[in-house]
A and B are shown apart, each in its own frame.
Chain A
Amino acid sequence: MKPKVHFEVIRKLWPHLKEFRFRLMGGVLLIVVTTSFDLIGPILIGRAADAVVATPANVNLLTKICVGFFLVILFKAISEMLQAVTIQTTGLLITQRLRLRVFERITRFPMAYFDEHSSGRLITRVINDVRSLSELFTASMSVLALDVMVIIGTIVAMLILDLKLAGLILLTFPCVVWAIAYFGEKLSEAYREARARLSEINSFLGENVSAMATIHRLGAQEARKRSFEGIVGHHQEALMKSIHAYAQVQPWANLLNGIAMATLLGVGGVWVIQGKVKVGIMVAFLAYIRNLFQPIRDLVEKYNVVLSALVSAERVARVFDEPIEKDSLGKVPQISRPCGLKFQNVSFTYQTREEKALDCISFELLPGKTMAIVGATGSGKSTIARLLLRFYDPTHGTIFLGEIPLEQWPRSTLRKHVGFIPQDVYLFEGSVRDNLMLANAELSDLYLIEQCKKAQVWDFIEKRGGLDLVIDEGGHNLSLGEKQLLSFARMLVLDPEVLVMDEATASLDNASEARLMVAIRELIKGRTALIIAHRLSTIESCDQVIVLEKGILKEQGSIPELRKQQGLFDKFYQLYQEGPPC
């Protein structure tokens, strides 16, 4: 049952590796060559022994054999080097290919996938699983192939040299196979357990290494340490089990090796004395038995590597099974600038939740106009933004961008036209310049600085290295407001037709607040913009307002219109209008 599953996995991954088939075959071929040189060696040694004991001794023949032997070991060394280079390089290339494919594939998964998988787990796929998988094709494959080849070759050579003696010695061979199968199963069970325990250790570390501040606050070091010691202890036990299991396999191989040798020395020796077998054959057999048992030991050793590689292979294969975001491949729609957008009876439900996030929403935003979305947390504001960017597709209804239904837009084109500023600013590691230019390397510094100035962020960064200021991981060296303004500058550089912005809620001091407003005005100038607004000043700079409540569109219109309706919006507009209680 199990081997079948394994083959299935390899079959799935094969298309990605197909182009390496010649390299792999080359590696196998070199293994065959190396092995055959290995098999010739003992025969030559045996011949030499025969030449030596012959009466009269044949010095000439001995010299010839020795020259032959030298050539054999020389060529063997060469083919071994070629084999090692080929296999290692192939391994690297396979690793690289798979790693890129897995990475590319993951980044193209729909957002829903990322909602369910932590980034830590995804990194494991890209880095560790791929490495372990490529070992399957290189280290394990080469060793396995080599070992199997040596075993088969040796058996064949022995049978050819002396059928009877070989048959007698190989009587133990079925026992060897049985012992390996029996103990191997026990061993792999133990290894499985150890691996499971190790992943417990890793997930504990993952949780706690990132929660260190809390551990300090609680003074929970002792308790956490004890928990960790418990987990480590379990792992330790499992490992010891596997060591005992392994330690049991090796002596068996050793014992069977001993029986084979004793048979050779005893029975073979008697036959030599009786003249039934030549000394040379016996000498060659001495080397062959060694050849036979070494690879068996190796095989046991490699079994575990192969098993864990197959586990990784399965995980990697699953990445390829997972569907990526479907995209329309038709011709790319053209839009005029600025362009409008329209929601028509749009409903949406998240896979992970039951209630509708949006319920039959319809509104239209004319080209160049701006609209504020107002509503409480969970009213569906962010969902509108996510649908517009096609992170998710609506369950019902249609969204139009410039008269064209959203499904007809390839996501990449769509997202180039629709710029998105999320609430949590995310900056990439690297310089300010890297963050502004992103994929576009042809922008002049002058232009970038101009955009920074428009976004009101230039005087913050100018003195600290300007465009060369390096932003560290998580952007700890910039303040929240600075980061936000920088993300505005980035959007100005990208210059999309439509802007979707999720305004940050954080309260800022007055000076920063004023700065932010100037930047926002700059940002929406000449663009169609949809803003999830939290500040009255932002709302007031928009042409239209929609009010959402629990996924339902409650009110819609310009500020004066909505005020006239004296509904929800009017209530909080009044609240905002009231001066401070003095």
Chain B
Amino acid sequence: MESQSNSPEKNNSFGFLGLKKKIKDYPFSRFLFKYKSPYLKGFFWLLFVDFLNIVQPLLVKMAMDALVPGAIRAVIIAAVAYLVVMVLQSIGRYWWRVYLIGTANYVASDLRKELYEHLQKIPLMRYHRYRTGDLMSRATNDIESIRMALGPGILVALDAVIMFLMLVPAMLWLSWKLTLLTFAFYPLVPLLTAKIGNKVDFFFEKMQSRLSQMSAYAQETFSGIRLIKALVLENHSDRKFRQLSAEFVNEGQRLAKYESVFSPSLSFLTQMGTFFILFFGGKDVIAGAISVGTFIAFQRFVVQLSWPMEAIGWSVTMTREAKAAERRIEQVLQENSVEDTYPAITSSSLEAELEIRDLQFGFMQEKESGFSLALNGLEIPTGKKIGLVGPVGSGKTTLFNLLLRLYEPPPGTVFLRDKDIRTIGLNELRNRVGSVEQQVTLFGESVATNLGMGLKRELSSGQMEQALKVAGIWEEVEALKGSLETFIGEKGVTLSGGQRQRLALARALLRQPELLLLDDCFSAVDVECEQQIIERFFEAYPKLSILFSSHRLSVMPRMDEIWVMESGKIISRGKHSTLIRNCHLYRSLWRESEREVERERLETGEILL
């Protein structure tokens, strides 16, 4: 009894004093608190199993001690008891596995969802600083490391601590002298862990960063393969990849050296315990100080001790890996999300009347060339159709991004019905201000799901049909095998570029926006088709305000007003008939576009016929 109450104190260094802090420090410890109940249940079953682990050697001792006096009954009892213990242990093992490892899966799923949800909230300007591959790796590999730490990692660490705390009293109870001998070398353990563990940690992180460099390089190579082949850079890229790979192997080999020393030396230390027991314990038996059973049971205790020792190595590695993963995931989770706490505006108060006052915007990181937008005194009255034209790179797309708050405009510059758009909830803003971009993105779902993507209400097939008709794609959708329910493949690969653009237009229309931003969204649709869509569409939505940019100017005469943009400024505005006379840039853009159109017609043979 006395020795048992002693033991926790004795093992303070192993974690009781700093326990709370240790738990807090554990990667993503908040999940430990969230899933307290299953973790505690798992902990209980672990205690149960480990307790039975201690009983086993004692039963062996009982049997061995009975051998000498020749008590067959005691031997049989011990054997049967042993079997019972093992059966109970089997049950216990089933449950702790389900509770501890199973819970870690819930944690990983939670974290995955949380991370993905957060990714959706990061302002795009910041979001685009991450590479896609990098984010992917955080959401997959790093979360796997966390899962390992919060499942097997915790299991192993707890198991080790519990085993240790139970073994020591049991051993002291059998023989304090042999116990002390067993632990003679143990002070070396923390020393070894700290020394080698740090190195392992260091080289592991280095290796990981080399790996992600390689991965990034492979990405660059494969996506630019056409040029690599055209410039005959295959050998060059091999060399560079080989170089990256060699650096990776270098770090890896250093890591291997430290890791290979680590676990054999730990197991050597436990084996030294066995050695002492063999020698001194053997002498004790001869001297009659302890029984043969104690001698044998002690051997088994020492063997059992090897597990906590091994577990230290394991859990140290897993925790360190998880720590690194936690840093990488936390980095993303720490990214400020776009604030979106503004109260909804009652719809009557908000009819599209967009106003831009003194808007200046630049990409901060480039000081000199710093492309910037400077706009003032622009407005889109309700129901007006505005055209936006300008050479490539003049800032049209940036303007669209600002109006949607994909890029955050400075406060007090963009107003929707006299309300600063920065004070309008994001979802609300983007429901009221619809948009279709040139590089249309569809999702690997059905046509109907794509159309209703992000909408709160259900769409009737009638509504969808109407929108698809306006967008001039209804017949093509109807002709698909499953009509609206047809699966369109990842990113909509089964559709042509023009089909995707028209589908995206229908998607935008179904959101019933008050203002629609169309950013050169008919680039893959032919002229005739574009004209028809525009006619139909303006007719069907007379109250919808539109800001329409296009590199083809053929529909510009239909616009109520046209803004001509150059180098981030509106240099001229007015109707087509005015601009064609007064604005040199507009004239040359128009001329070029008309030629393009004519050429296209010519080539498709329409004019010749």
Contact = CB atoms under 8 A, between A and B. Distances in A.
Contact of A107 (B105, B231, B234): B234
Nearest to B444: A207
Given A92-B256, A426-B227, A66 B282 contact: yes
Interface stretch (A150-158, A234-242, A343-351, A363-371): A234-242
Contact of B223 (A119, A257, A259): A119
B83 interface: yes
Interface stretch (A18-26, A260-268, A315-323, A398-406): A260-268
B406 A216 contact: yes
A329 interface: no
B261 A580 contact: no
B569 interface: no
Interface string B225-260: 111111111111110011001101100110111011
A86 B5 CA distance: 46
Contacts of B121: 221
Interface in A67-84: 69-70, 73-74, 76-78, 80-84
Interface in A221-257: 221-225, 227-229, 232-233, 235-236, 239-240, 243-244, 246-248, 250-252, 254-255, 257
Nearest to A291: B303
A114 interface: yes
Given A57-B286, A99-B245, A211-B441, A229 B218 contact: no
Contacts of B139: 205, 209
A307 to B, nearest CB: 17
B268 A416 contact: no
Interface in A17-43: 41
Contact of B93 (A85, A247, A267): A247
B278 A219 contact: no
Given A84-B260, A211-B441, A571-B607, A247 B94 contact: yes
A391 B136 contact: no
A88 B551 CA distance: 58
A290 interface: yes
A286 B64 CA distance: 11
A84 B93 contact: no
A239 B105 contact: yes
Contact of A262 (B80, B292, B602): B80
A379 B605 CA distance: 12
A507 B592 contact: yes
Given A84-B260, A225-B120, A508-B391, A123 B215 contact: yes
A534 to B, nearest CB: 8
B393 interface: yes
Given A49-B296, A123-B133, A219 B286 contact: no
A80 B231 contact: no
A177 interface: no
A547 to B, nearest CB: 9
Given A62-B286, A106-B222, A510-B588, A96 B112 contact: no
Given A269-B67, A415-B230, A477-B366, A127 B603 contact: no
- A: contact size bracket: 35 or more
A92 B252 contact: yes
Contact of A265 (B59, B94, B580): B59
B249 A422 contact: no
A262 B79 contact: yes
A426 B1 CA distance: 76
A270 B66 CA distance: 10
B391 A412 contact: no
B265 interface: yes
A420 interface: yes
Identify the interface centre among B86, B272, B300: most chain A CB within 10 Å of its CB: B86
Given A85-B260, A235-B109, A273-B75, A80 B234 contact: no
Residue of A100, A262, A426, A536 most packed against chain B (CB within 10 A) = A262
Given A209-B132, A389-B230, A571-B607, A265 B79 contact: yes
10 contacts: A53-B292, A85-B257, A127-B211, A202-B140, A228-B116, A236-B105, A243-B97, A247-B98, A273-B70, A464-B368
Q: Please list the 8 inter-chain residue pairs (A to B) with the smallest Cβ-Cβ separation, ordered nearest first.
A: A258-B86, A220-B454, A266-B79, A84-B260, A251-B90, A376-B603, A269-B75, A88-B256
